């Protein structure tokens, strides 16, 4: 009687299945999120209402509960959910379905024989959203939405050592918006931000899925091109330069034209650290600046 009240008022989903995986109990939480009343589902196989559960992992878990009395855990990270329920989060609808952390275990009779199993379902949607946001904050630049410098250092070092160890091509392009200070001084910092965002999104739209675009700092960016030869990177840089030059940046009814200068470096035997690799591209970028801007300069 008391346990029944707890069973129905607790804020997690509770299900009891018999050895044939037919539903024996379905608490109120399950009723309200699934829209299926307990009377309607009792006695039918859980797979009738949720065919998605009829997969190897779920079946394996049930078997291990019945054979060993195991407890099995279905984490949100890997499974996202067992029961496709509508998300209840107040946040923007980041996940289509409620994110769930679930667990199952044995139910024994007085002789310790396993007669069925229980499943409990916890709604962890909000935690999953926070976690996702934290990861984003850690990797991405808040203003432009492209990857940040910290991630660049990690990623470039990883890719650098991979190429050194297993061979393969790797190139980077460092680029910088010409006379960016003039944009800020002439149109204000909000306009400067607008330009940074426009350039980031324009370049993002023309790179490949495997390439990474990072904001290096201020108005300086870095694009990492895995499996790309130096010559290929020079062509890509030229495409970047043309794309930015052709942009019509409409800010407050004014069209602001901008250009970028670019330095390109390709990995070779001489380059023995990720830092040196960046410096090669950076030196080329400064050379491009010195020689009149709006141009692509290969590393020396």
Show which residues are catalytic.
Answer: 219
Q: Please select the residue that binds another protein; options are 45, 64, 89, 115, rule is CB under 8 A.
A: 64
Q: Please select the residue that binds another protein; options are 9, 51, 63, 161, rule is CB under 8 A.
A: 63
Q: Which is nearer to another protein, 128 or 195 (CB)?
A: 128
Tell me which stretch binds another protein (CB under 8 A): 1-9, 56-64, 211-219, 282-290: 56-64
The residues, ordered by sequence, that sit 6+ positions from 97 with a Cβ below 8 Å of its Cβ are 80, 81, 84, 85, 86, 87
> Is 117 a binder of another protein (CB under 8 A)?
no
Phi, psi torsion values for 250, nearest 5 degrees = -95, 105
Closest contact distance (angstroms) between CB of 299 and another protein is: 32
Closest contact distance (angstroms) between CB of 62 and another protein is: 9
> Is 79 a binder of another protein (CB under 8 A)?
yes
Q: Please select the residue that binds another protein; options are 95, 120, 179, 230, rule is CB under 8 A.
A: 95
Q: Please select the residue that binds another protein; options are 2, 5, 11, 78, rule is CB under 8 A.
A: 78
The residues, ordered by sequence, that sit 6+ positions from 139 with a Cβ below 8 Å of its Cβ are 147, 148, 150, 151
Helix (H, G, I), strand (E, B) or coil at 221: strand
Residue 261, judged by CB atoms within 10 A of its CB (0-12, 13-18, 19+), counts as buried
Q: Which of 165, 162, 160, 140 is nearest to 151 (CA)?
A: 140
Closest contact distance (angstroms) between CB of 123 and another protein is: 16
Q: Which is nearer to another protein, 45 or 70 (CB)?
A: 70
* Contact call for residues 73 and 61 (beta carbons, < 8 A): no
> Is 150 a binder of another protein (CB under 8 A)?
no
> Is 60 a binder of another protein (CB under 8 A)?
yes
> Is 280 a binder of another protein (CB under 8 A)?
no
d(CA 219, CA 215): 8
> Is 69 a binder of another protein (CB under 8 A)?
yes
> Is 86 a binder of another protein (CB under 8 A)?
no
Closest contact distance (angstroms) between CB of 105 and another protein is: 7
> Is 103 a binder of another protein (CB under 8 A)?
yes
Torsion of the alpha carbons at 52, 53, 57 and 62, rounded to the nearest 10: -170
Q: Which is nearer to another protein, 156 or 233 (CB)?
A: 156
> Is 68 a binder of another protein (CB under 8 A)?
yes
Taking each helix axis from N to C terminus, what angle separates 189-206 and 230-245, rounded to the nearest 10 degrees? 130
Give the H or E element holding residue 190.
helix 189-206
Q: Please select the residue that binds another protein; options are 86, 108, 189, 290, rule is CB under 8 A.
A: 108
- Annotate 29-54 with three-state secondary structure: HHHHHHCCCHHHHCCCEHHHHCHHHC
d(CA 77, CA 75): 5
> Is 1 a binder of another protein (CB under 8 A)?
no
Kindly list the residues in this chain that would bind another protein in the complex (CB under 8 A).
Answer: 55-57, 60-61, 63-64, 67-73, 75, 77-80, 95-96, 103, 105, 108, 112
């Amino acid at each position: 009687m008391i346990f029944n009240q707890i069973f129905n008022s607790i804020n997690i989903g509770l299900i009891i299945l018999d050895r044939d995986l037919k539903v024996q109990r379905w608490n109120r939480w399950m009723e309200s999120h699934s829209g299926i009343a307990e009377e309607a589902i009792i006695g039918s196989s859980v797979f009738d209402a949720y065919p998605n559960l009829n997969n190897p992992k779920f079946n394996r878990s049930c078997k291990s509960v019945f054979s060993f009395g195991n407890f099995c855990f279905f984490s949100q990270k890997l499974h996202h959910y067992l029961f496709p329920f509508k998300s209840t989060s107040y946040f923007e609808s980041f996940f289509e379905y409620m994110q769930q952390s679930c667990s199952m275990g044995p139910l024994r009779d007085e002789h310790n024989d396993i007669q069925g199993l229980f499943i409990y379902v916890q709604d962890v949607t909000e935690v999953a959203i926070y976690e996702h946001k934290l990861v984003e904050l850690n990797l991405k630049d808040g203003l432009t939405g492209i990857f940040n410098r910290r991630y660049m250092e990690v990623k470039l070092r990883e890719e650098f050592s991979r190429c050194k160890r297993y061979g393969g091509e790797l190139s980077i392009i460092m680029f910088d918006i010409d006379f960016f200070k003039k944009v800020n001084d002439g149109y204000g910092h909000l306009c400067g931000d607008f330009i940074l965002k426009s350039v980031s999104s324009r370049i993002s739209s023309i790179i490949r899925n495997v390439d990474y675009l990072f904001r290096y700092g201020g108005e300086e960016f870095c694009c990492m091109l895995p499996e790309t030869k130096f010559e290929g990177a020079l062509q890509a840089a030229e495409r970047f330069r043309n794309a930015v030059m052709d942009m019509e940046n409409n800010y407050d009814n004014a069209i602001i034209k901008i250009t970028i200068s670019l330095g390109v470096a390709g990995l070779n035997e001489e380059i023995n650290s990720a830092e040196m690799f960046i410096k090669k591209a950076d030196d080329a970028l400064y050379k491009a600046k010195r020689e009149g801007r709006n141009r692509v300069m290969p590393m020396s």
